[in-house]
C-alpha cells in the first residue's frame, strides 16, 4: 500500500533566504535573495525522505548596497547574465531527532553543481487563520564560493582578504500544504 504524496510550496511572505560572508575578515556582510521558489514532496505529512527543490533569481540579490549587488551579479561572482538562477535539488532528507534533519542535495551556481549537506531544524506544524496547514524549517550550512566558480578576490594594502571564500547559508522557510 503506497502512501499518498503531499505537495508543499514556500510561503514567500514568511520565508527568507540569506547568506553571510566575512568582509575584511573583521565583519560580516549579510545578503539575501528576494525572489525564490521552494517546494517539497512528502509521503503523507512526514518529511523523512522528502524530495526538496529550491531556486533563486540571482538578479534579486540584495545586500543593502546597490554597487555591491551589481558587482555580485557581474561575471566576477554570479554572472547573472549567463546564469540567472541558482538551484538546489535534494538527494536525501534524513531525520536525526524530532526536530533535526540532515538535508543533502545538489547545489548549482554559475553552472557548477556540487553536493552540499545542510542542517535543517523543524519548527513544527500549525494551521493558520485561513485553514492552511503550514510547517517551518530553519536551514543552515556553509559552502566555499570558489568551488562554484565565484573566484573574485582582492587583498587590501595591508594584506587583508576582502571577501572570505566561506559563505554561510541561513534559510527560514515556511511551507504550505497543497490540497
pLDDT in tens, 60-107: 999 888 988 998 898 888 899 999 999 999 999 999 998 999 999 999
Band (1; pLDDT cuts 50, 70, 90): very low
How does residue 39 score in pLDDT terms, banded at 50, 70 and 90? Answer: very high
Pairwise CA distance, residues 41 & 3, whole Å:
12
Q: What is the pTM of this model?
A: 0.87
Q: What percent of the chain has pLDDT over 90?
A: 61
The grid coordinates of residue 170 equal 541561513
**What domain count does the chain have?**
1
Q: Any idea what the CATH number is for the domain that residue 129 is in? A: 2.40.128.110
Contact 173, 137 (CB under 8 A): yes
Q: Cβ atoms within 10 A of the Cβ of 148, count? A: 22
How far is 75 from 82, CA to CA, in rounded Å?
9
* Residue 163: closest CA among 150, 176, 175, 154: 154
* Residue 128 Cα to chain centre, angstroms: 25
pLDDT tops 60 at residue 32:
yes
Strand (E) positions, 24-132? 27-33, 36-43, 46-57, 61-62, 85-95, 100-109, 112-127
Give residue 141's domain range: 5-177
Amino acid at each position: 500500500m503506497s502512501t499518498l504524496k503531499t505537495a508543499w510550496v514556500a510561503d514567500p511572505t514568511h520565508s527568507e533566504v540569506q547568506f553571510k560572508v566575512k568582509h575584511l575578515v573583521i565583519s560580516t556582510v549579510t545578503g539575501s535573495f528576494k525572489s525564490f521558489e521552494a517546494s517539497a514532496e512528502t509521503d503523507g505529512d512526514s518529511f523523512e525522505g522528502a524530495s526538496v527543490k529550491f531556486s533563486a533569481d540571482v538578479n534579486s540579490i540584495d545586500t543593502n548596497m546597490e554597487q555591491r549587488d551589481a558587482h555580485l551579479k557581474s561575471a566576477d561572482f554570479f554572472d547573472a547574465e549567463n546564469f540567472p538562477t541558482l538551484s538546489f535539488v535534494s538527494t536525501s532528507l534524513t531525520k536525526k531527532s524530532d526536530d533535526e534533519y540532515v538535508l543533502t542535495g545538489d547545489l548549482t551556481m554559475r553552472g557548477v553543481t556540487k553536493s552540499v549537506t545542510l542542517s535543517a531544524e523543524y519548527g513544527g506544524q500549525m494551521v493558520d487563520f485561513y485553514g492552511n496547514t503550514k510547517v517551518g524549517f530553519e536551514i543552515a550550512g556553509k559552502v566555499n564560493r570558489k568551488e562554484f566558480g565565484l573566484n573574485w578576490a582582492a587583498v587590501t594594502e595591508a594584506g587583508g582578504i576582502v571577501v572570505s571564500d566561506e559563505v554561510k547559508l541561513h534559510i527560514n522557510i515556511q511551507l504550505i500544504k497543497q490540497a
